[in-house]
């Protein structure tokens, strides 16, 4: 078993080396095939390991494999060591499975790009880094993947680096992520200072053994780690890079900025569940940031006109959902939504890519409309994605989102406040997705004649990927049928909440969560920490709340249809009535401008002031001043060094007289 | 054979380049190809001879190895001054960096140097000899001789083959360094005199001088005299202003050597002289040096951000990176000092490569203004890829050498005082800002200047110069163990000298002691005197679990629902991992 765990990340790295070194000498087909095959190889190995894992007794589902020592010195130990447990398994399968499909899609999408091998080298490098992130058995190695995916994101956003907007966006992504990484780094130092190790195993064991005394320190650690998560997973206040990241090629947006990399923060929080549950305050912060981001990003998505930007804000909003679930203490719900989201958001992005392909790279939905006629496969699969993300049964989003909304109320740290945020966001989500889908695929075509002439369905390699992802987005939800529904339908035991049960050894059970929270000092005194034991099995309440959410979502979709198909122009009229609100939303609450004014410009000004003011004027002034002073003094003495013997003789005479006078006195 | 190698290798490494330099001066001026070939061959031979050092070095030993001591000058019948050379884990890597970067710098000069080539390559080899001498010398007179001698070739390299304001830069470099070294000379004489008063032995031997008792005032003054020389060399804020001028005016190879090796003499000096010779004074001045180092990290980065000239940008980034190294040295935790050492090596590789990269486009366009470029990745794909890799090494991406150094320094400083780490780690963000912004303005975007459209990509020689540097950073980044293992004993010895000399010793726990971590009833975690300043102690012999000896940390709650499943840890069978009681019942409780 251990023997091939290391192959999972190694195969994509092999792909990188091949494509980076020989890529330009290989025929395109070979270069692309190599990239796809290595990811597929990792996928097969990941699934094999997953099957192996399922075959083990639930309590022992974990495989360790230490490869070689890494930074180990002066009492600090870290190793390049891998770990495969249910949580890693889910992540590996999502990353390689969805990743493989997106690689295949890219074969067609990037077919005409001159830097084809480079693209695949980057994509494989990303897969490698992401696999390191989810397979690491310690924080430091996880950080390797963490920074590595950030690097690949930078390279791929700026893939078409000739465009200033693309290179700007890449740089912004990297720097904003580094701000988060700064927090993560400090968090790791804090962990080592307290626990003397960075291995998950050692750290969590110590926390679990002694939750009562550790709460304060662990709260500090968790908050620092969460700063890292806000950067990587684009949460308030560090979400600003993700919308701009849409400058990258669309498969990149699908893979990195929707399905995998941006979920790293959720993965990290879930991985550290013991620590977060020991820090109720940090958990509340996670939930609040998640809830706020979910709502906030959804409002922005309402008015965007760029097909990819709508999806980007939607991603931010959905990530907020995942954090909200984690913050409520139900990590399995967050990870489940992470998985279903990977399917339907990748599907939506690739659908958007297919639309752009047809529209000659135009992304403005105001110039689309009625595309269903020309792009039937894209249109139907896009609808599957829309219904899934809107939480319409039986698509996957229904199950995962319902679980999150229920958890936000019934989780050990749940609260009705989070529930309200969740439901309102669900309604907004359904509305903006309906707006997008209706505007793109239905109603009157609004594109130019030229564009209309070129409209075409994507090649089979792309269409098939859409279909496969649509199947995934439809069916993935059945992995985790909530107990209430399973009970209603008299489903067998093993069908009920199968995913959650599988994940529980990695992210804890409800009882463990409650135990940890109760043990943590002050856990019961902090704001929302109302431990909700009683809500767990109330089927009537669950169905009632589910009904509210469903009704709102369905209503929102119908409103969308009414506003953008039946009465096109309603939206514009509404925008004219509320100009201030509309403009604020369209400008994303002016947060970019705020950062520019408060951080970027003053930073540059400070740099300039220090350089021209301090370095050049003060320090150099002193240094050169000393030199000039020396020169002036020596010029004074030079007067005496004339070179004429008579002057020196006069000097000797004067000196002699002086000495004689002194002696005679 | 090996015995002969062990005794003579350091002498050979020092004097072989000198002999080669003299031979070059005998060659006819016009035989340019022969001169270049001979110079490179000499440097490569020296490199090849130095490589076995790495493998023959006994990594478990803290003391000097490959020693050779020959009496030189007698004072009242005693050999006071000796030709004494030897290396420990610290100087080993400085010597290897010297031979490695010298070969690369010479190979990197073929494109840029077009005048007086014979004298140039002779001086480069002289420079190599001087640098190697500084790092192997174990006698203060010998050390000082090499320290000063090395200035001469550098002065000429900047002053003759430099840019527009080369004379100004060369004189400034020379004077600045001289001021520091003259004070150091006085301090050396005082130190020897104090030792003579105490022991009656006249000696300049560094190893014998390390236990000279002296008054606090004397120690402080001597520390400052040595320290100023090293602080100028590093250079630390606010003594750094010679560096941008020297770098901008120096030819590419000069910058590579300057940044790669010469600056390290400052940090090396701190480690070799200031810390072991004046431990109490080091402890007293540590807060000041730490403050200056942290200012340097942030200041250097902010100023680098706004530089219009690529070389100046890299020069200011050096101020920032070496601030990290000095910080690591003066927090006196073993992790921090190890990190400082790795940072020195890493900076030598990555900044050397950055200067080579700047030089390569300078040779093509004769400008280093960032605004003159833009979009050249499209015409120079290999250059773009390498520049990006070098940049990533410089900003400390994990699995590249910069990360190993920075992480250990930050960790070590956190253990000393978390606020050090908080401020220093902002450098992580700032370095990404200035480096990536430069990348954007140089490599990315549309081609804005017509001249750049026809730029040729790197040729084979240029690749051969850059690739080894990048490979080196990746090697240290991915598998630093061989490097760390060789350095650790030597640094641990120095750390054991300075760490107990803490002025903070009154309160061993310190203000940020995370006391809450420990249970009241549990015995305090194991402490050793040398780790006094570290808040939570990491015994060096422990494997992953440090707090295993603290029984309270593993107090078992058999009634708890928290069955921790990680017990099936394959590297360490459960029985050994922790107290037995918390394994079996928990596993079955699931």
Q: Which two tokens stand for residue B247?
A: 């770098």
User: Per-residue pLDDT tens for B179-212?
Assistant: 889 999 999 999 999 988 888 888 888 888 877 7
Pairing of strands A63-69, A79-84: antiparallel
Q: Are A89 and A50 in contact (CB under 8 A)?
A: yes
Interchain CB contact of B554 with A (< 8 Å): yes
The alpha helices in A579-619, defined as continuous H runs, are 579-586, 591-595, 601-608
| Contact (CB<8Å) B375/A72 | no
Question: According to the model, what pLDDT value does residue B562 have?
Answer: 57
Task: Tell whether A521 is within 8 A of chain B (Cβ).
Answer: no
B303–A604: do the CB atoms touch at under 8 Å? no
Whether the upstream peptide bond of residue B238 has omega within 30° of 0, thus cis, is yes
Q: Which of A19, A75, A83 has the highest number of chain B CBs within 10 A, making it the mutation to test binding with B?
A: A75
Which residue's structure tokens are 């000797």?
Answer: A652
Q: What is the DSSP letter of B504?
A: G
Q: Other C-beta atoms within 10 Å of A164: how many?
A: 15
Q: Which two tokens stand for residue A362?
A: 């135009």
Q: What secondary structure does DSSP assign to B344-388, as a single string?
A: HHHHHHHHHHHHHHHHHHHHHHS--BGGG--STTTT-HHHHHHHH
Contact of B443 with chain A, judged by CB distance below 8 Å, is answered with yes
User: What is the average per-residue pLDDT within B138-152?
Assistant: 92
Record: contact A186-B398, CB cut-off 8 A: no
pLDDT of B565 over the 50 cut: no
Please state whether the peptide bond connecting residue A46 to the residue before it is cis, i.e. omega within 30 degrees of 0: no
Q: Do residue A505 and residue B568 have CB atoms under 8 angstroms apart? A: no
Residue of A nearest to B374 (CA): A162
Closest CA to A180 of A134, A133, A224, A218: A224
**Residues of chain A numbered 58-87 and touching chain B (CB < 8 Å):** 58-62, 64-66, 68-77
Does A610 contact B436 at a Cβ distance shorter than 8 Å? no
Cα distances from B55 to residues B9, B50, B64, B138, B326, in angstroms, run 13, 10, 15, 22, 28
Q: What count of CB pairs under 8 Å joins A to B? A: 235
Are B519 and A168 inside 8 Å of each other by CB? no
Quick one: average pLDDT of B433-443?
A: 92
Q: In B, residues 109-168, which contact A (CB 8 Å cutoff)?
A: none
Around B252, how many Cα atoms within 13 Å sit in the side-chain half-sphere? 29
Q: Tell me the pLDDT tens digit for each residue of B263-279.
A: 999 999 999 999 988 98
For residue A73, the distance in angstroms to the closest alpha carbon of chain B comes to 7
User: Chain-centre distance of CA B505, in angstroms?
Assistant: 29
Strand partners, B65: B87
Q: Is A598 part of the contact surface with chain B (CB cutoff 8 Å)?
A: no
**H/E segment holding residue B494:** helix B481-498
Query: In the structure, what pLDDT confidence band is assigned to residue A175 with cuts at 50, 70 and 90?
Result: very high
Which of B239, B296, B301, B303 to mutate to test binding with chain A, by most A CBs within 10 Å of its CB?
A: B303
Chain A residues with beta carbon closer than 8 angstroms to that of B305? 603-604, 607
Whether A593 has its CB under 8 Å from any CB of chain B: the answer is no
Cβ-in-10-Å burial (0-12, 13-18, 19+) of A424 comes to middle
pLDDT at B583: 37
Using alpha carbons, list the distances in angstroms from residue A521 to A274, A398, A524, B323: 14, 36, 8, 40
B415 and A69 within 8 Å at the Cβ level: the answer is no
Worst-scoring range by mean pLDDT, A131-140, A258-267, A536-545? Answer: A536-545
Could you write out the three-class secondary structure of A420-444?
A: HHHHHHHHHHHHHHHHHHHHHHCCC
* Residues of chain B contacting A196 with CB distance shorter than 8 Å: 536, 538, 542, 545-547
pLDDT at B539 over 50: no
Provide the CA B500 distance to its chain's centre, in angstroms: 24
Nearest to B423 by CA among B435, B413, B412: B413
Q: Give the separation between CA B474 and CA B353, rounded to whole angstroms.
A: 13
Could A75 and B542 be called an inter-chain contact, meaning their C-beta atoms sit closer than 8 Å?
Answer: yes
Residue B425: which of A70, A185, A610 has the nearest Cβ? A185
Q: Is residue B519 pLDDT above 90, yes or no? A: no
ipTM: 0.91
Could you count the other beta carbons within 10 Å of the beta carbon of residue B308?
12
* The two three-digit tokens of residue A320, written as one number: 């907020």
Contact (CB, 8 A) for A354 and A466 = yes
Quote the pLDDT of residue B176.
87
Lowest mean pLDDT among A449-463, A544-558, B176-190: A449-463
Residue A397 φ/ψ, nearest 5 degrees: -60, -30
Cα→Cα distances B52→A610, B10, B56, B99, Å: 46, 11, 6, 12
**Tens digit of each residue's pLDDT (9 = 90 or more) over A402-443:** 999 988 888 888 888 999 999 999 999 999 999 999 989 988
Q: Tokens 């002439």 label which residue?
A: A453
**Cβ of B561 and A143 within 8 Å?**
no
Question: Does any CB of chain A come closer than 8 Å to the CB of residue B418?
Answer: yes
Q: Mean pLDDT throughout B453-464? A: 89
Q: Taking all residues of chain A, what is their mean pLDDT, rounded to a whole number? A: 88
Nearest C-alpha neighbor of A326 from the set A407, A221, A258: A407
């Amino acid at each position: 078993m251990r023997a091939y765990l290391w192959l999972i990340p190694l195969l994509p790295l092999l792909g990188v080396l091949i494509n980076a070194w020989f890529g330009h000498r290989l025929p395109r087909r070979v270069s692309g095939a190599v990239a796809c095959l290595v990811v597929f190889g990792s996928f097969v190995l990941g699934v094999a390991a997953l099957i192996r894992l399922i075959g083990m007794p639930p309590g022992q589902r974990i495989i360790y494999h230490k490869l070689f020592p890494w930074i180990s010195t002066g009492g600090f130990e870290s190793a390049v060591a891998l770990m495969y447990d249910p949580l890693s398994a889910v992540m590996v399968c999502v990353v390689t499975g969805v990743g493989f499909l997106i690689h295949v899609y890219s074969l067609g999408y990037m077919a005409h790009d001159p830097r084809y091998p480079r693209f695949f080298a980057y994509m494989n490098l990303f897969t490698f880094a992401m696999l390191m992130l989810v397979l690491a058995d310690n924080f430091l190695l996880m950080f390797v993947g963490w920074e590595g995916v950030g690097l690949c994101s930078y390279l791929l956003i700026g893939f078409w680096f000739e465009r200033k907007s693309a290179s700007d966006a890449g740089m912004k992504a990297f720097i904003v992520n580094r701000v988060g990484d700064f927090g993560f780094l400090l968090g790791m130092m804090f962990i080592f200072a307290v626990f003397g190790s960075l291995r998950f195993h050692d750290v969590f064991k110590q926390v679990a053994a002694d939750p009562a005394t550790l709460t304060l320190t662990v709260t500090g650690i968790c908050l620092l780690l969460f700063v890292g998560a806000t950067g990587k997973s684009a949460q308030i206040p560090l979400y600003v890079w993700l919308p701009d990241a849409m400058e990258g090629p669309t498969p990149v947006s699908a893979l990195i900025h929707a399905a995998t990399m941006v979920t790293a923060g959720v993965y990290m929080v879930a991985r550290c569940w013991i620590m977060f549950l020991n820090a109720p305050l940090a958990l509340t912060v996670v939930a609040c940031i998640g809830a706020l981001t979910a709502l906030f990003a959804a409002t922005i998505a309402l008015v965007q006109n760029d097909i990819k930007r709508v999806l980007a804000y939607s991603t931010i909003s959905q990530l907020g959902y995942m954090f909200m679930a984690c913050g409520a203490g139900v990590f399995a719900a967050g990870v489940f939504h992470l998985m279903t989201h990977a399917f339907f958001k990748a599907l939506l992005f690739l659908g958007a890519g297919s639309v752009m392909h047809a529209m000659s790279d135009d992304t403005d939905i105001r110039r689309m409309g009625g595309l269903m006629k020309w792009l039937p496969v894209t249109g139907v699969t896009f609808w599957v994605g829309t219904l899934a993300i809107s939480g319409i049964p039986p698509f996957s989003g229904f199950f995962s989102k319902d679980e999150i909304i229920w958890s936000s109320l019934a989780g050990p740290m749940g609260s009705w406040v989070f529930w309200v945020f969740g439901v309102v966001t669900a309604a907004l989500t359904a509305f903006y997705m309906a707006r997008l889908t209706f505007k793109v695929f239905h109603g009157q075509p609004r594109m130019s004649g030229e564009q209309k002439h070129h409209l075409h369905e994507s090649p089979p390699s792309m269409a098939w990927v859409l279909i496969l992802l649509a199947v995934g987005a439809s069916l993935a939800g059945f992995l985790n049928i909530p107990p209430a529904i399973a009970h209603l339908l008299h489903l067998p035991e093993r069908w009920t909440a199968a995913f959650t049960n599988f994940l529980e050894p990695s992210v804890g059970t409800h009882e463990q969560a409650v135990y940890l929270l109760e043990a943590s000092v002050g856990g019961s005194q902090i704001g929302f920490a109302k431990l909700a034991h009683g809500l767990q099995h109330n089927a009537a309440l669950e169905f009632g709340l589910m009904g509210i959410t469903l009704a709102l979502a369905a209503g929102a979709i119908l409103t969308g249809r009414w506003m953008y198909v039946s009465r096109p122009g309603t939206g514009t009229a509404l925008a004219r009535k509320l100009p201030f609100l509309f403009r604020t939303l369209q400008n994303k609450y002016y947060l970019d401008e705020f950062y520019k004014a408060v951080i970027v410009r003053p930073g540059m000004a400070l740099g300039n002031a220090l350089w021209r003011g301090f370095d050049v004027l003060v320090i150099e002034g002193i240094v050169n001043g000393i030199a000039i002073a020396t020169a002036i003094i020596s010029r004074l003495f030079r007067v005496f060094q004339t070179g004429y013997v008579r002057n020196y003789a006069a000097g000797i005479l004067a000196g002699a007289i002086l000495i004689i006078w002194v002696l005679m006195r | 054979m090996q015995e002969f190698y062990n005794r003579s290798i350091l002498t050979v490494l020092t004097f072989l380049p000198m002999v080669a330099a003299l031979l070059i001066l005998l060659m006819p001026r016009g035989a340019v190809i022969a001169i270049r070939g001979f110079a490179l061959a000499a440097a490569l031979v020296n490199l090849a001879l130095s490589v076995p050092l790495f493998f023959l070095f006994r990594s478990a030993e803290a003391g000097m190895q490959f020693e050779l001591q020959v009496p030189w000058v007698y004072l009242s019948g005693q050999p006071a001054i000796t030709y004494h050379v030897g290396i420990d884990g610290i100087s080993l890597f400085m010597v290897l960096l010297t031979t490695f970067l010298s070969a690369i710098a010479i190979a990197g000069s073929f494109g840029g140097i077009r005048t007086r080539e014979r004298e140039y390559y002779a001086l480069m080899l002289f420079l190599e000899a001087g640098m190697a001498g500084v790092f192997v010398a174990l006698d203060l007179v010998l050390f000082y001789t090499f320290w000063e001698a090395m200035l001469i070739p550098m002065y000429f390299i900047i002053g003759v083959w430099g840019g527009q304001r080369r004379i100004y830069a060369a004189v400034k470099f020379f004077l600045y360094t001289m001021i520091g070294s003259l004070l150091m000379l006085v301090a050396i004489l005082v130190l020897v005199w104090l030792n003579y008063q105490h022991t009656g032995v006249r000696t300049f031997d560094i190893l014998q001088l390390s236990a000279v008792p002296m008054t606090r005032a004397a120690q402080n003054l001597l520390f400052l005299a040595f320290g100023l020389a090293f602080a100028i060399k590093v250079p630390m804020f606010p003594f750094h202003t010679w560096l941008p001028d020297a770098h901008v005016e120096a030819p590419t190879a000069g910058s590579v050597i300057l940044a790669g090796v010469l600056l390290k003499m400052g940090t090396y000096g701190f480690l070799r002289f200031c810390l072991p010779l004046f431990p109490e004074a080091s402890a007293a001045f540590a807060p000041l040096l730490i403050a200056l180092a942290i200012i340097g990290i942030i200041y250097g980065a902010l100023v680098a951000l706004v530089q219009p000239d690529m070389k100046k940008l890299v020069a200011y980034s050096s101020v920032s990176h070496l601030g990290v190294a000095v910080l690591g040295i003066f927090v006196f935790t073993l992790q921090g000092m190890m990190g400082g050492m790795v940072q020195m090596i890493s900076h030598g590789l990555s900044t050397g490569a950055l200067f080579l990269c700047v030089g390569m486009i300078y040779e093509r366009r004769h400008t280093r203004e960032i605004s003159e470029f833009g979009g050249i990745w499209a015409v120079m794909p290999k250059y773009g890829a390498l520049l990006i890799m070098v940049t990533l090494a410089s900003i400390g991406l994990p699995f590249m050498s910069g990360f190993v150094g920075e992480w250990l320094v930050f960790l070590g400083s956190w253990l000393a005082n978390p606020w050090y780490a908080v401020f220093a780690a902002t450098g992580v963000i700032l370095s990404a800002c200035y480096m990536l912004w430069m990348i954007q303005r140089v490599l990315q975007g549309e081609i804005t200047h017509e001249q750049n459209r026809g730029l040729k990509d790197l040729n084979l020689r240029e690749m051969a110069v850059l690739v080894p540097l990048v490979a080196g950073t990746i090697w240290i980044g991915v598998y630093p163990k061989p490097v760390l293992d060789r350095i650790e004993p030597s640094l641990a010895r120095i750390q054991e000298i300075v760490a107990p000399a803490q002025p903070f010793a009154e309160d061993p726990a310190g203000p940020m002691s995370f006391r809450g971590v420990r249970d009241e009833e549990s015995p305090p975690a194991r402490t050793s005197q040398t780790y006094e300043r570290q808040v939570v102690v990491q015994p060096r012999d422990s494997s992953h679990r440090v707090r295993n000896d603290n029984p309270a940390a593993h107090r078992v709650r058999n009634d708890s629902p928290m069955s921790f499943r990680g017990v099936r840890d394959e590297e360490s069978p459960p029985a050994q991992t922790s107290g037995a009681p918390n394994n079996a019942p928990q596993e079955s409780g699931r």
